[in-house]
Structure 1
Amino acid sequence: MLELIKRIDGSTQADVHDTLTLPYELRIRGRLKAVTDSGLDVGLFLDRGPVLRHGNLLQASSGEIVQVFAADEPVTTAYVESGLALGRLGYHLGNRHVSLALGRDEEGRYWVRFPPDHVLEELAVLLGATLSHHQAPFDPESGAYAQAGREHSHAHEHAHAHSHSHEHADDHSHEHADDHSHEHHHAHGHSHNDDHNHAH
């Protein structure tokens, strides 16, 4: 049995030895016995951490890499218009403290997905959504606090770089204007002295 003990950064180039397809309720667990898609017995021995997402990589104690896939499972997908309607739907469903997946389909329609629940479904319809009950992967948003470490810092650095370039442009134009006005005064003073000397 392969012992999967370590999460690997998704940007790492790795040779995938096997794949493991799991429903959401099993991807939230750090301890688990399962069977890979090729029929290999594996055990998960992971630290407590974020939910396993579709595409995540795990490393075995013996070095092999296994990629996690989100299994198709029963879900409710609520389609709604972009903008205020989408924000309102996400806000009210999120207030029920359930996991939600968000996305957009090939036709450009926005959706919010959750495990089947008649209370949530009634609320979604009241908020203008059209529901679809079907089988699909359920890969919900990870918590904002879980993402704060890497993704927030990346966004902050991007914003900082943008503001820095903006300030640089302002400084440049400001200095240029100062130089220009300084030269103008200097030239004016020079001509005034010439006139004064000429009068004497």
Structure 2
Amino acid sequence: MRVEAILPAGSWDAAREIDQVLIDYDRRFRRRIVLTTVRGTDILVDEPHAVRLRDGDGLLLPAGVVRVRAQAEDLIEIHAHQDTDLVRIAWHLGNRHLPVQLLGNRIRIRADHVIQDMVVGLGGHVDRVMAPFDPEAGAYAAGHHHHHHDHDDHGH
């Protein structure tokens, strides 16, 4: 079954949800991928360009919407006693172009012992957690709102 459109999180009616798909961070950035839903249905995402699927996005099918869920992964959750330490840590993570998930006074990153040692050296405290990873899209990431349609419909 082919996905007709990718609906950004919050833009679609949850009452239309017919299934879910659990996907880890690495597999959520693709142009073309076959996904198996929780109920065992194979669905095809086939976009002209690679897209980043986010937690809560909807994959529109003729019968309804399949909700994208970020799968739990091995992560490091960072916090600090001083705000300045957390800001410094965030700067260093960004300087390394690492994907980060910002959670108020905490930061989540993918587990990496070298980065963990750096964070501790900068005054951070770390906890290993198994949790969904849905990092920031980044300053240069375009919002995604994909519909498969013909431009002739718009007089282009």
- Tell me the TM-score range normalised by the shorter chain: 0.7 to 0.9
* Structure 1 segments (4+ residues) deviating >4 Å: none
Q: Which amino acid is 2:21 matched to?
A: L
Deviations 1:75-123 (A, max 9, x none): 111122463222111110111111111104xxxxx21111111221111
Q: Matches of 1:143 and 1:83 in 2, distance apart?
A: 22
1:135-174 matches, cutoff 5 A: 135-146=130-141
2:106 matched residue in structure 1: 111
1:11-50 matches, cutoff 5 A: 11-13=11-13, 15-48=16-49, 50=51
Asked if 1:129 is matched to 2:110, the reply is no
The answer on whether the counterparts of 1:101 and 1:139 sit within 8 Å (CA) in structure 2 is yes
Q: Matches of 1:47 and 1:144 in 2, distance apart?
A: 22
Change (3 A) 1:50 1:102: farther
1:161 matched residue in structure 2: none
Where 1:145 maps in the other structure, the secondary structure is coil
Deviations 1:53-73 (A, max 9, x none): 11011213x353111000111
The answer on whether the counterparts of 1:50 and 1:142 sit within 8 Å (CA) in structure 2 is no
1:120 matched residue in structure 2: 115
1:73 matched residue in structure 2: 73
Task: Determine which structure has greater relative contact order: mean sequence separation of CA pairs < 8 Å that are 6+ residues apart, divided by chain length.
Answer: 2
Where 2:140 maps in the other structure, the secondary structure is helix
Unaligned 5+ runs, structure 2: 145-156
Percent pairwise identity: 32
With normalisation by structure 1, the TM-score equals: 0.64
Asked if 1:85 is matched to 2:85, the reply is yes
Question: RMSD over aligned Cα, in angstroms?
Answer: 2.1
Q: Matches of 1:98 and 1:30 in 2, distance apart?
A: 22
Name whichever structure is richer in helix by fraction: 1
Q: Between Structure 1 and Structure 2, how many residues are aligned?
A: 142
The answer on whether the counterparts of 2:72 and 2:133 sit within 8 Å (CA) in structure 1 is yes
2:151 matched residue in structure 1: none
With normalisation by structure 2, the TM-score equals: 0.81
Deviations 1:5-48 (A, max 9, x none): 41114323251121111110111123111210111111111343
The answer on whether the counterparts of 1:4 and 1:46 sit within 8 Å (CA) in structure 2 is no
